[in-house]
Structure 1
Amino acid sequence: MAAELEACRNLLDQRNALAEQAMKAEIALVRTIRERICPLLSKQADGANANDRNELTIDYQALIDCRHKAEEHLLRSQRVLYVNRQQFRFYTAAGAKLARQADGLDQELPDRECSQLR
């Protein structure tokens, strides 16, 4: 039983690492579009993220609105390459490939042994 649990943990760790890499690819894409749509606001947000002592006042509602505009732009201009099991859309080839791999590992997880870890 301990060996099965360890195997489950290893699969979950692999799946989570792939899913994280896939998400990072998509986050970078949206960020690039956001920077194009709202360059000043994006620069302020990046500066605030780099600075632990958030000295800048950021209009978070404007940042959220800009993020939504970037996502809408993606929906209109890019083809969805993959939708994962959580219904997250992947537009980049790298993100789609990694997400498929993560979902594939998720399929390998035996239900009985790994259900408590999910």
Structure 2
Amino acid sequence: MAAEVEACRNLLEQLNALAEQAMKAEIALVRTTRERICPVLSQQADGANANDHNETTIDYQALIECRRKAEEQLLRSRRVFYVNIQQFRFYTAAGAKLARQADGLMQQMQDQECPQLR
């Protein structure tokens, strides 16, 4: 039983690492697209993230709208390489490859009836 729990724990750690790497590729793509659409707002948001004591007031509703537009533009202009188990779209080949691997680990965890999935 302890060996099964350890195996599940290892699978979960691998899954989380792959998912994190896959998401980073997609976040970078959306960010680049957002920066093209709303350069000033993106710069303000990046500055606020870099410095918690930033005095600049950010229009978060505008930032949300800008991100939505960036995601819409990606959906119209780029091929979706993969849609994962959670229905998240991957527009980069690297992100899609990692997401497929993560989904494979998720399936392994389900097959092994890992308690982390219950």
TM-score for the superposition, normalised by structure 1: 0.95
Fraction of identical pairs, as percent:
81
Aligned residue identity for 1:99: A
User: Runs of 5+ in structure 2 lacking a partner?
Assistant: none
Q: Deviations over 1:3-56 (max 9, x none)?
A: 100100000100110011001100000000000000000000000000021321
In the alignment, structure 1 segments of 5+ residues that lack a partner are none
Paired residue for 2:116? Answer: 117
Count of paired positions: 117
1:62 — aligned with what?
62
Structure 2 matches for 1:1-118, cutoff 5 A? 1-111=1-111, 113-114=113-114, 116-118=115-117
In structure 2, C-alpha distance between the alignment counterparts of 1:34 and 1:112, rounded to whole Å: 41
**Amino acid paired to 1:97:** K
TM-score by length of 2: 0.95
